[in-house]
Each structure stands twice: as C-alpha cells, then as structure tokens.
C-alpha cells in the first residue's frame, strides 16, 4: 500500500477545515431557526392558535424534498433531518408557552428531585432529561413510596417515577401509590431503555456467577439472560443499587443490568449490549408535585384520571362511549382491583386533552354523574409527538421527477363507494360484512392497511446480502413504498446452510427496515419458525401453498402480529375466507388477504389474475384485500397495467418484487422490476396515467 504524501495529507486537512466551517454555519443557522420558532410561538399565543399544524408541516417537507432532489439529496435523509428540526421547534415553542404559565418548572434554577435509586438509575436519567436546563440535586430513594413521601414532606420539589414499560407493562405499585397520595401529575418523560450487562473493567462473562437487577429490568431481559450465562439473578431495590454492588465488589463475580450511560458514570465495561427481550423498549415516567400546573390551551396536552364505576353491567362501556361521543381519544386504560372491595376495579385513564378545555370539562362533568369515584390526577404537556409523514404519492412524484425531470400530475381519486354485503356460508362469520360492516384497518408502525388507504409492499425476490437489502429499502423509502419484504433466501450467496441463511436474512431485513423506519414482512413455511419470525418481523406472510395448513393457521391465530394470507391458485373464495376465519377465531383480528391469480387453460402465463375476486372479496369481507400481479404478468409493461387495474377495481394495496440489477426478467414464473421500472410504477400508481 502506498503511503500518503504530504500533499495528500495537507489536502485532507484543508477539506476537514472546510467541513468544520460548514458545520459551524449549520449550527448558527439552527440557532437562528430556533429563535424564529419563539417568534412563531408569540404570534400563535396572540391569536390562541395550536402550536402544531401538520398540514403546514407536510407542505414544508414536500417543498424541501423537491428542492433537495435537484441537489442529489434523497428524501429519507431530508425527511429525517427536518422531522427532527420540526420536533425541536414544536418542543421549544411548547416550553416557551409553558414558561409563561409555570416559569419555575423549566427555568435554570436548581431543583430537588426524588428518584428511585440514585446516580445511574433509569429514574435518575429520565429526571435529568426532563429537567435538562437546570443543575439539580437528586434525592436517592430506596422504594417508590419513599419517592412519594419525599415530595409530600417537602424534602423534594418533584418526584420522578416509572409508570409503564413497552415490554413489561404497567407498574401497578405506582398506580396504587398515586391514588393513595394527593400528589399531582405535572409532566411525563419517555426514555428509550437499552439494557446492557455491565461489570468491572477487564471482567469476562465466564467469571460472572450473579447478576444484580431491579425486578422490572430483570423481567425485561428474562429471555436474553437465559441464553447468556447460567448466573443467578439477584433482585435489588434499584439499578443504582445494582451498580454500586458491581463497582464495590471484590473479587469480581457480579454483573448488573444497566444502561450504557450508567456504565460510563461508574467506569464499568459493557459485557453485552441490547439484552432486552424486545428491540423497542421504552419506559414512560411521571413527574409528580404537590400542586397541579396550568397548561396553555395551544399546547398538546394529556390528562390523567382515576375512576370507579361500581359493578353495574355495562358501566365501563357507558364511560367509554362518553369519550367517543365527545371525540376525545384515550391513550391509556389500566385497571386495578380496589382493596377490600372484591371484584371492583379502579380504572386509570389517559386522555388527549386539556383539563381547561370546555369539551374536556363538560365530558368529565358528565362522567362524575356516572361514577362512584372520579379524580383528576393532572393535566400536562404530552411527549407523544408523532413525526409528520408525507403520503406515498408525494414521494413517488418527487422520485420520478428526480430521475426523469418530469412534472408530477394529479393523484387518482379513490372510490368512496362502500360495498354492499353479500351472504356467506354460516360457518364463515367473523370475516363477513354481516359481522362487521366497516372495513378493518391494520396499523403497523404508522402504516395503515385497509379502508381508503392504498399500501405498497415490495422488496427483492431473492436475498443475497445486506448491501442489496439496504439498497432496496433505500429505494423503497424514496419512492413511497410503505412496507419492505423479501422472498427466498439464497444460501449459496450467503455461503451458509439453510438455517444460517434464514437467520442472516432476518437480520438483514430487520437492519434495513430499522434504518429506513419501515415495517417489514417475511414468509413463514414451518411452525418452528414462528417464535423467531414473530420477534423479528412486523408482518408474517402465509404463502398460497400453506393457505390451508391448519397447524400454521392455528399458530398465527394466537399471535399479536398482522398476517397476510395468500389465496391458493386452486382454491375458491370461500376456502380463502374459511382459512382467514380460522385465524380470527383464535383471537388474531389482524388479517389481510392477497389475490395473486388462478390456474386456467392459458398456456402463456403461469397464472391468470382474477381481478373480479377483488370486488367480490370486498363485497363479502371487511378484511383488507391486496393484489400480487407478479405471477400473472409476462413482462414489466403488463405488470404495470395489471397493477393499475388492481387499484382501479378497489384493491387496497399491491405486492411487487424488485431489485437493483434486474431488467424486468422472469424468475420462478414471476416478473421482477428494476429500480427504474419500480419508480415509474410508483408514479403511475398515484396519477391518472396508465
């Protein structure tokens, strides 16, 4: 290898200097933009307008992406950056509005905070995040009730406690303490918990005989810990206690479950990261105080209440109907038994709305006349900020314009006609329109399948490597494809056996989906795969060949994952719906159907696409109906025509296979598209041109 010359080193130094100069300019511009956000907040306050305007956000993103595409910048990159900037702007405006009402809450004055554990505990980290503008004093408590008592007695200004986790659910002890005290909820914080196994410097996994963990942390990592070591779990009062045990032990034999940040605070090594059972592990914390706070009506707000309805039949349904009629969304409903009152429940509810809002006040007033007990725990600014997403049509138009320098045209309108239900076999009940007249909507990571939504699921036919999957996912995101998928794994390309190839393919698909914030779909062929697939994939596909595989249908009916059910080319519509009925009957209501064609006497193609089946299925069932035209199309042009036709007859989505280097060639009786053809198809799907 040639050594770099002084000239090349000097050139690299000059480039780095230029990059630093650009970065400094970006920082200055971001500072100026934040200052303008405050001006926006002042104007909105003067006219009492909501801080967030998602219509304006979508218009801004679309305009920015169009300009960025002309500069060679991809839409996913720009959308991620500006969603972060918009989120910061909204949060900054929200903090400004709240500072006018509650200046002591978000200013830089020192605050005393009671947290479970101490330095390094998750409550400590969440409190530090919420009160980030001030240099605080932390009161380490050994239990949840000590945190409550510290605030009640005035030893701390605020208490910060976990209330629920996406892996282990609600923390019941905190709910009970919340009701027994007179403290108010004045804020919330969400903290992404990435549990790690930590130990003193130089320690090896084989040396560990005991793992110290808070009970919640232990539950959240139970599956992973069994595969790591045979060490015993020692439950402790808090993560801070676990860290202290590890930091002060001699000789080394104990590890702890803690965060990466905590490991740094205690100068510990990370033996294993990402040991949580679920990849997305988020804990929600409540901030408690003696007195409630006021929340500006323009700020996105959440209100927490506790109520008891007694044992009257249908009383909870009456309560929920009040919120439904008032169009007040509920984000949380948790029940707890009432001590000394057998079979009676206390319900904890989080609703979207401000306690000062007349609509909320009126609903709570009506509620008080129905309940035995009703208490408002607090109104506070919410952390539930959903990033604004551009519709697939906008992305497809921008991508086509970038590739062909063509002007976008109008979107094709969706039909508003509702199907009139037809009768089915009496045994087919749950999937029928008689059972449910409205369309089923399946939500997967902000993507909706069903109703008036049109989704595109696409990906490579044969998975070869991670780079291929990342390229396909990037192009999918750029063109407005909603869900990424992959077909057959190529063990030869991965230089491994089938089992290793399957594991690698799931990892490749998951990495690509996570990088580009897309749901992913994989196919199941054996009951043994279910545990792995359900952990890795957002949607599980049952192939046409397995449509009537009762063992798989039963397993898929017991999981909480959307399932796509393909129609066998030799199966009737009734047989397809019977298979779907089997899944719904076991509890899983997240099923959608795929029509891919039927066997006919036509020798020119593998299958004949039965588009009449789409209209018939929509008439018979409330389940979403998608179409896969790849088995029936002879070439890319016919595939595009069949895709447009499928949308025209009312299909609620399509499934397409595409790859970077293909030139619309046939593979296993399927027509595949290359990147350019896929871009054209996505644009055509959202225009009036075929």
Tokens of 541: 């596909």
Which letter does DSSP use for residue 383 in this model?
A: -
Pair type for strands 254-258 and 483-485 = unpaired
Cα torsion for 477, 479, 483, 489, to the nearest 10°? -80
Tokens 């972060």 correspond to 84
Specify the 3-state DSSP secondary structure of 40.
helix
The answer to whether 459 touches 484, Cβ cutoff 8 Å, is yes
Report how far residue 156's alpha carbon sits from residue 113's, in angstroms, rounded to the nearest whole number.
Answer: 5
Report how far residue 131's alpha carbon sits from residue 109's, in angstroms, rounded to the nearest whole number.
Answer: 10
Chain CA centroid to CA 30, Å: 28
Report how far residue 303's alpha carbon sits from residue 354's, in angstroms, rounded to the nearest whole number.
Answer: 6
Report how far residue 123's alpha carbon sits from residue 158's, in angstroms, rounded to the nearest whole number.
Answer: 12
Tokens of 598: 């039927």
Report how far residue 370's alpha carbon sits from residue 372's, in angstroms, rounded to the nearest whole number.
Answer: 7
Contacts 24+ apart (CB under 8 A), 556-559: 556/524, 556/530, 556/583, 556/588, 557/582, 557/583, 557/584, 557/585, 557/586, 557/587, 557/588, 558/586, 558/587, 558/588, 559/530, 559/534, 559/588
415: β partners: none
**Non-local CB neighbours of 511 within 8 Å, separated by 6+ positions:** 466, 469, 470
Report how far residue 434's alpha carbon sits from residue 446's, in angstroms, rounded to the nearest whole number.
Answer: 28
3-state SS of 406-471 is: CCCCCCCCCCCCCCCCCCCCCCCCCCECCCCCCCCCEEECCEEECCCCCEEEEECCEECCHHHHHH
The answer to whether 209 touches 232, Cβ cutoff 8 Å, is yes
Tokens of 118: 């101490």
Pair type for strands 447-449 and 442-444 = antiparallel
Phi, psi (degrees; rounded to nearest 5) at 425: -50, 140
The answer to whether 461 touches 672, Cβ cutoff 8 Å, is yes
Tokens of 204: 């090896």
Q: For residue 559, give the H/E element and its range.
A: none
Report how far residue 508's alpha carbon sits from residue 504's, in angstroms, rounded to the nearest whole number.
Answer: 6
N residues, the chain: 690
The answer to whether 583 touches 563, Cβ cutoff 8 Å, is yes
**Non-local CB neighbours of 665 within 8 Å, separated by 6+ positions:** 671, 672
Report how far residue 518's alpha carbon sits from residue 466's, in angstroms, rounded to the nearest whole number.
Answer: 16
Supply the residues annotated as catalytic.
283, 285
Tokens 């200004």 correspond to 157
Cα torsion for 94, 95, 99, 102, to the nearest 10°? 80
336: β partners: 346
Packing angle of the helix pair 675-685, 636-648 (nearest 10 deg)? 20
């Amino acid at each position: 290898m040639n050594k770099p010359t002084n000239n090349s080193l000097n050139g690299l130094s000059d480039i780095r200097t230029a990059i630093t100069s650009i970065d400094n300019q970006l920082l200055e511009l971001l500072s100026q933009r934040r200052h303008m956000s405050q001006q926006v907040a002042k104007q909105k306050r003067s006219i009492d307008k909501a801080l967030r305007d998602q219509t304006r956000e979508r218009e801004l993103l679309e305009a920015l992406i169009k300009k960025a595409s002309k500069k060679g910048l991809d839409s996913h990159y720009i959308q991620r950056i500006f969603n972060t900037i918009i989120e910061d702007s909204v949060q900054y405006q929200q903090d400004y509005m709240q500072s006018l009402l509650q200046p002591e809450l978000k200013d830089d004055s020192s605050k005393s905070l009671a947290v479970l554990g101490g330095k390094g505990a998750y409550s400590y980290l969440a409190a530090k995040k919420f009160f980030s503008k001030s240099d605080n004093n932390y009161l380490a408590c050994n239990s949840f009730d000590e945190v409550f008592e510290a605030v009640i007695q005035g030893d701390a200004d605020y208490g910060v406690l976990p209330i629920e986790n996406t892996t282990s659910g609600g923390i019941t002890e905190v709910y009970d303490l919340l009701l027994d005290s007179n403290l108010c909820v004045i804020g919330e914080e969400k903290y992404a918990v990435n549990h790690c196994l930590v130990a003193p410097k130089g320690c090896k996994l084989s040396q560990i005989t005991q793992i110290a963990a808070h009970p919640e942390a232990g539950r959240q990592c139970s599956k992973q810990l069994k595969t790591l070591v045979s060490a015993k779990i020692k439950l402790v009062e808090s993560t801070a206690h676990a860290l202290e045990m590890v930091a002060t032990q001699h000789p080394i034999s104990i590890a702890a479950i803690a965060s990466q940040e905590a490991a740094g605070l205690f100068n510990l090594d990370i033996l294993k990261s990402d040991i949580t059972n679920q990849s997305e592990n988020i804990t929600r914390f409540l901030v408690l105080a003696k007195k409630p706070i006021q929340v500006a009506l323009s700020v996105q707000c959440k209100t927490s209440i506790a109520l008891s309805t007694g044992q009257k039949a249908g009383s909870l349904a009456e309560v929920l109907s009040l919120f439904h009629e008032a169009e007040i969304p509920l984000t949380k409903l948790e029940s707890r038994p009432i001590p000394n009152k057998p079979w009676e429940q206390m319900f904890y509810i989080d609703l979207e709305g401000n306690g000062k809002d007349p609509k909320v006040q009126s609903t709570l007033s009506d509620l008080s006349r129905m309940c035995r007990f009703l208490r408002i725990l607090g109104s506070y600014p919410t952390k539930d900020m959903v990033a604004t997403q551009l519709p697939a049509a906008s992305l497809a138009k921008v991508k086509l314009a970038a590739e062909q320098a063509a002007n976008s045209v109008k979107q094709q309108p969706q039909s508003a006609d509702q199907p009139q239900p037809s009768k089915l076999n009496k045994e087919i009940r749950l999937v029928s329109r008689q059972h449910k007249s409205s369309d089923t909507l399946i939500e997967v990571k902000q993507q909706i399948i069903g109703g008036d939504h049109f989704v595109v699921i696409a990906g490579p036919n044969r998975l070869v490597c991670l780079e291929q999957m990342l390229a396909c996912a990037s192009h999918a995101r750029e063109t407005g494809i909603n869900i990424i998928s992959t077909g057959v794994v190529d063990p030869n390309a991965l230089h491994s056996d089938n089992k290793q190839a399957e594991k690698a393919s799931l990892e490749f698909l998951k990495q690509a989906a996570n990088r580009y914030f897309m749901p992913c779909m994989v196919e199941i062929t054996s009951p043994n795969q279910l545990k792995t697939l359900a952990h890795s994939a957002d949607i599980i596909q049952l192939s046409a060949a397995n449509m009537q595989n009762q063992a798989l249908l039963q397993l898929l009916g017991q999981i909480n994952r959307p399932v796509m059910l393909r129609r066998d080319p030799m199966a009737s519509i009734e047989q397809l719906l019977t298979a779907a009925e089997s899944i719904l009957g076991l509890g899983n209501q997240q099923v959608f159907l795929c029509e891919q064609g039927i066997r006919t006497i036509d020798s020119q193609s593998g299958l004949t696409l039965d588009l009449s089946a789409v209209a018939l299925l929509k008439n018979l069932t409330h389940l979403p109906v998608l179409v896969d035209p790849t088995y029936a199309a002879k070439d890319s042009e016919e595939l595009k025509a069949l895709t447009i036709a499928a949308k025209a007859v009312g299909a609620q989505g399509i499934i397409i296979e595409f790859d970077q280097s293909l030139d619309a060639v046939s593979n296993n009786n399927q027509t595949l598209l290359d990147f350019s053809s896929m871009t054209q198809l996505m644009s055509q799907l959202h225009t009036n041109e075929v």
